[in-house]
Chain A
Amino acid sequence: MNRWIALWQLQARALVRDTGVLITFFGGLMLYALVYPLPYLHQVAGAQPVLLIDQDNSGTSRELVRALQASPGIQFVATNTSLSDAQQAVLAGQSKGLVMIPAGFETRLRRGGSATVVAAADGHYFLSYGTIAEQVARASLSLGGQVQLARRMMAGADPASSRQGGVTLNMVPASNLKMGYLDYILPGLFVLILHQIMLICVGVTVIRVQRRPGSWQRMPVAAGLSVMASLLIPPFVLASLLYLGPLLAGYEVALQGSLFSLLSLLLPFWLATFLLGVVLGSLFRHRDSYAQLLVLISMPLLFTAGFVWPVESMPTVWTLLWGIVPSQAMMQGMIQLTKLGGEDVLALQWTLWGQVLAWGLLAVLLWRRRQEKVPSDSALPEAS
């Protein structure tokens, strides 16, 4: 026990002097908590710049224009441009879309026929495209409803019975009620940030410890790993509680699900991530190379987590990551618990505990191998 405490004290002193780890932990956690959510603070896309071509110039076309102007997603930035100029402006990205009301729009409606509104939006920006499409469809539907009502009344129908036989599609979100971008991305993203920073901190510490001979070689593997775990896991327990608690609440990301279920996932997540960090750190010689690996895999991990892109449309090989990398199961669990209100996370818990076992065995093997491989020379100074 005394040897364990001595090693702990030695490693603790080395850790607080390790500016690389400290900068990554404090700087990374603080900066990423601000930098990633910042672009999405407004949650939804607001008024998109749209060009209007009103070739009809009638009362009905102006009514449609007023309905479009009143919608939150469209702002007409120019009117009466030619169709080809407007098209060119959208293609060049100077405007996000165009709405054209063709000549004869009102006449067709008055004659009892149907009229078409032409809308086009920039397909390079899905959020803008979706916003413009939705607003034009709504305004047109509203105008269409008025036309139908007017026609029925002119045919002598009672206004009270004009809803006869109508079908209303009550289409509402069951989660993320405001359809906000922060609510959508932040629970998963915060888990990924914690995962990556924990992997970097654990891995670079393991590289620092293992590249020099010292008392870590003379200790049993379990003792060495437990010293590292006791030093490196607690800061991330605190960081997780901060990130997934007050910080998410600070960004007004509404949480559901029980704290107990969340903790039942977080516990194996911390252990599995720590052990994966030990395994990866044992395979690298340079701390900067290792940190670079984690920078490069961040994007694939985010896009294969299942909430940006559906698992059903992903090649099977990517879904294997779900069984290997702790962040993937944890991101899904976090989304289920915090946003969807689901409590059935048993499969995810088993996945994470399985990873604890698998990465744990591999960590023990590699730690032992490094103990034997690094020349034991007590004359050399201790790692610092």
Chain B
Amino acid sequence: MIPWLRRDPWQGFILLLAPLLVVGGLYTIFASRTPVELPVAWWDQDHSALSRQLGRQLQASPAIRLHSVTSLAEGKAMLANGTAYALIQVPVGASETLFRREPLVLDLRYNGQYLLLARRLSAPLQQALASGLSQQATLSLNLAGVPAAAQPAQLAPVQVQLTALNNQNLDYAAFLVPPLALAVWQILVLLSVLNFYQRPPPGVCPRRALPLLLAWQWGWAGIGLWLLSPLLMLPIGTPLWPLWFGLLPVMGAVTTAALLLRRSGREAEQLVSVGAALLTPAMTYMGVTMPEGDMPMAAQWWGQVIPSTHYLPLLQSYRGVGEANWLALWPLMMLLPLLVWLWRRSA
């Protein structure tokens, strides 16, 4: 095996290092789990105790790092250059307006182009401002003679208790890395099978050795599941092995695709191009970023062609309740006869 991999160092890289390097690399991007200290431009024209109080409330939020600006142009430039994700303006006389019990408008502009970050910032910004302003409102109620015990009910009669089920901390790494790892693994399976037939080990019949290669990749899947188990957040006492076995039909389907491509007789790089075109958009079709039900029908159909799309809902269900309807993988299992036929005919 070693002489073979020395002769084909790229296949050695795909089999030995790529899973760790690519998935590990992707994990390091999201290792901070939740974005913190996102720059927000703060344009305080009021310079009052109230505006400073609001500034302190915002600064106290771990998601926000305030950058004071002295003009609208400066704040606008920060938004346009992407150096700030939001701009908050406290207008001249804001505090005075409130004391006079007149309506006050606080302008907040955020960079919708950074969609996820805008959503991430939206809640802490609103919470921090609401918290700062509620102190003023409490003062106002005190002056009106409302008892302290009755004040919360006066300020917000209907309250919302919002809970995240699954991924309770809304952890980005737990949200993105497991589906990304699945997408990367199926690409690596495809590439390793293509390479294996393109430059097989000397003196070995590729057909006979293919199961060993697949066993190796399946082994990587097991290691990956084990390493990612902190991110999978399975219910206590739930074993990993059903997830591991569930990956077998996925691997079978990807191998079928690789053998079909190989059978087309095209040049190696053309096979890679076509295989990549099929599998690289896998993440977008899994329904993680955009819910599957909100995709156009054509996208839902195309998604069915990608093996990982069938596996992901089961993975998410297993992460949530520790069980999944594995029979839902039947479309992938239907490919088994074709896989066996292609394998027997592969040289």
Binding site for B on A (CB under 8 A): 19-20, 23-24, 27-28, 31-32, 35-36, 38-42, 44-46, 48-49, 64, 87-88, 90-93, 96, 109, 112-130, 133, 136-137, 140-141, 143-144, 147-148, 151, 163-177, 179, 181, 183-185, 200, 204, 286-292, 295-296, 298-300, 303-304, 306-310, 312-315, 317-318, 332, 335-336, 339-344
A238 to chain B, nearest CB (A): 20
Supposing A39-B285, A173-B110, A342-B77 touch, asked if A300 and B22 sit within 8 A by C-beta, the answer is: yes
Across the interface, A299 reaches (CB within 8 A) one of B101, B183, B293, B321, namely: B183
Decide if A336 touches B26 in the complex (CB within 8 Å).
no
Chain B interface size, as a band, is 35 or more
Decide if B14 touches A292 in the complex (CB within 8 Å).
yes
Decide if B113 touches A114 in the complex (CB within 8 Å).
no
The residue in chain B whose Cβ has the minimal distance to the Cβ of A171 is B108
Give the distance in Å from the alpha carbon of A148 to the alpha carbon of B154 in the complex: 7
Q: Which residues of chain A have C-beta atoms less than 8 A from B126's C-beta? A: 169, 171
Across the interface, A168 reaches (CB within 8 A) one of B31, B105, B280, B319, namely: B105
A37 to chain B, nearest CB (A): 9
Q: Which residues of chain B have C-beta atoms less than 8 A from A185's C-beta? A: 115
Q: Which residues of chain B have C-beta atoms less than 8 A from A144's C-beta? A: 156-158
Give the distance in Å from the alpha carbon of A310 to the alpha carbon of B162 in the complex: 25
B202 to chain A, nearest CB (A): 16
Decide if A164 touches B291 in the complex (CB within 8 Å).
no
Decide if A115 touches B159 in the complex (CB within 8 Å).
yes
Interface of B is mostly: helix
Binding site for A on B (CB under 8 A): 10, 14, 18, 22, 25-26, 28-32, 34-39, 65, 77, 79-82, 85, 87, 98, 101-119, 122-123, 125-126, 129, 133, 137, 140, 150, 152-154, 156-170, 172, 175, 180, 183-184, 187-188, 191, 194-195, 198-199, 266-274, 276-277, 280-281, 283-285, 287-291, 293-296, 298-299, 302-303, 313, 316-317, 319-321, 323
Q: Which residues of chain B have C-beta atoms less than 8 A from A173's C-beta? A: 109-112, 118
Across the interface, A295 reaches (CB within 8 A) one of B80, B169, B276, B302, namely: B276
Decide if A140 touches B321 in the complex (CB within 8 Å).
no
The residue in chain A whose Cβ has the minimal distance to the Cβ of B116 is A308
Q: Which residues of chain B have C-beta atoms less than 8 A from A309's C-beta? A: 29-30, 35, 116, 172
Supposing A124-B316, A288-B194 touch, asked if A115 and B14 sit within 8 A by C-beta, the answer is: no
Across the interface, B113 reaches (CB within 8 A) one of A121, A127, A299, A335, namely: A335
